[in-house]
């Protein structure tokens, strides 16, 4: 019998969440962001779920883009970090990929590539995130290069919000974006893409218009981008549910400790359930005592330090629970965002950390 841990991916939930994102985006088209193996859900699996309703797919790695093409995906594919060396450009042309351009040297490489087709590009503007992107000071050189470059096809302007989910908001970046376009007549005709999940949901003005593309990410997978608003309240459905079972039970007395380092000390007679799940499966090792967990449909808490293959939970108030009891680590019935918050992280990390050794089923 195989180890009881497994992850269930709900394809219908993925599709629902994409359609909700596009609905909230009004008239905008929506990239289905499937980077990082679709946030741990499987890039080909997610592509099947989004299917023909997706306007396009956005990711990082050219091999993943080629895999989508080989699987029959014909929608546009956006490379969010662009290309990394000139040899990548031939693959972009062959497979019909749209690279993001975030530095002048990439435009120069594109001109020198002498491609058989004009390549559509997403020109990234740095409006304050300060990771990648063309600055205002670099715009004159970019405009000259675009005018001279016969390999560039359609241009879309892209930027990324640093605090769409926070108090500072996005107005300052929108102002920077407007200033960068103000003295650039051609830019008025360029489509643009600004809104991530948080902006789609909280700043809908960034997701309106026929020439607009949005880039929903975490919301596609049933996670919330906000600390103060749950995924369920936004109408999102969990796409990944991680489950296992109780594989052992210990009865300990007050004063006895549990697990490596003895971090948990019993204050009362305690039934300890051992779950077949640990950090080698992707569960966060730093999750503290009290992280929520569901056993036989009832909530309880983790206790002690998470180890490589196991973690412990408190069964003291669940007398019916024992060896073989069903456990939900996160997902349907236990929001991943809640587990992540208890562990001091975000649901993105939980999803992306799911280990290859965990069997995945679709349902």
**Ranges under pLDDT 50 in the chain:** none
CA atoms within 13 A on the CB side of 60: 6
Which CATH number, 3.20.20.10, 3.40.50.1100, 1.10.3720.10, 3.30.70.260, labels domain 26-215?
A: 3.20.20.10
* pLDDT value of residue 333: 97
Task: Answer whether 272's CB lies under 8 Å from 318's CB.
Answer: no
* ∠ CA 96-25-163, rounded to 5°: 95
In Å, how far from its chain's centre is CA 53? 19
* pLDDT value of residue 106: 95
* pLDDT value of residue 10: 98
pLDDT tens sequence across 203-225: 999 987 778 999 999 999 999 99
* pLDDT value of residue 1: 74
Task: Answer whether 289's CB lies under 8 Å from 260's CB.
Answer: no
* pLDDT value of residue 114: 86
**Calpha distance 264→256 (Å, rounded):** 8
Q: Which CATH superfamily is domain 240-362 in?
A: Lyase, Ornithine Decarboxylase; Chain A, domain 1 (2.40.37.10)
* pLDDT value of residue 363: 87
Sign of CA dihedral 206, 207, 211, 215: positive
Neighbours of 284 (CB within 10 A): 19
* pLDDT value of residue 193: 97
**Calpha distance 36→347 (Å, rounded):** 14
Indicate the domain borders of the chain. 26-215, 240-362
Query: Which residues are tagged catalytic?
Result: 35, 260
* ∠ CA 15-160-41, rounded to 5°: 30
**Calpha distance 50→72 (Å, rounded):** 13
């Amino acid at each position: 019998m195989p180890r009881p841990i497994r992850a269930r991916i709900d394809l219908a939930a993925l599709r629902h969440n994409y359609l909700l994102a596009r609905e909230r985006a009004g008239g905008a088209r929506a990239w289905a962001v499937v980077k990082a193996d679709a946030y741990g859900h499987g890039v080909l699996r997610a592509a099947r779920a989004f299917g023909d309703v997706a306007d396009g797919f956005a990711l990082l790695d050219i091999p993943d883009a080629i895999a989508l093409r080989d699987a029959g995906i014909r929608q546009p594919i956006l490379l969010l970090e662009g290309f990394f060396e000139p040899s990548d450009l031939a693959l972009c042309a062959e497979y019909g990929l749209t690279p993001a351009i975030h530095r002048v040297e990439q435009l120069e490489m594109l001109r020198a590539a002498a491609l058989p087709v004009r390549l559509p590009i997403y020109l990234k503007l740095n409006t304050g995130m300060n990771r990648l992107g063309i600055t205002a000071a670099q715009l004159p050189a970019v405009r000259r290069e675009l005018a001279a470059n016969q390999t560039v096809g359609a241009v879309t302007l892209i930027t990324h919000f640093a605090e769409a989910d926070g108090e500072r908001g996005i107005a300052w970046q929108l102002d920077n974006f407007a200033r960068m376009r103000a003295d650039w007549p051609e830019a008025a005709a360029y489509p643009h893409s600004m809104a991530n999940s948080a902006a789609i949901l909280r700043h809908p003005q960034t997701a309106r218009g026929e020439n607009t593309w949005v880039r929903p990410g975490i919301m596609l997978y049933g996670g919330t981008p906000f600390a103060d608003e749950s995924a369920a309240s936004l109408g999102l459905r969990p796409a990944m549910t991680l489950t296992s079972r109780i594989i052992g039970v210990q009865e300990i007395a007050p004063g006895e400790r549990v697990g490596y380092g003895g971090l948990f000390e019993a204050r009362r007679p305690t039934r300890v359930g051992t779950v077949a799940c640990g950090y080698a499966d992707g569960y966060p090792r730093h999750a503290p005592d009290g992280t929520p967990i569901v056993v036989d449909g009832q909530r309880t808490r983790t206790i002690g330090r998470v180890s490589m293959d196991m973690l412990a939970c408190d069964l003291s108030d669940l007398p019916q629970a024992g060896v073989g009891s069903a456990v939900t680590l996160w997902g349907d019935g236990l929001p991943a965002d809640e587990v992540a918050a208890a562990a001091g992280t975000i649901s993105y990390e939980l999803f992306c950390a799911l280990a290859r050794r965990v069997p995945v089923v679709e349902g």
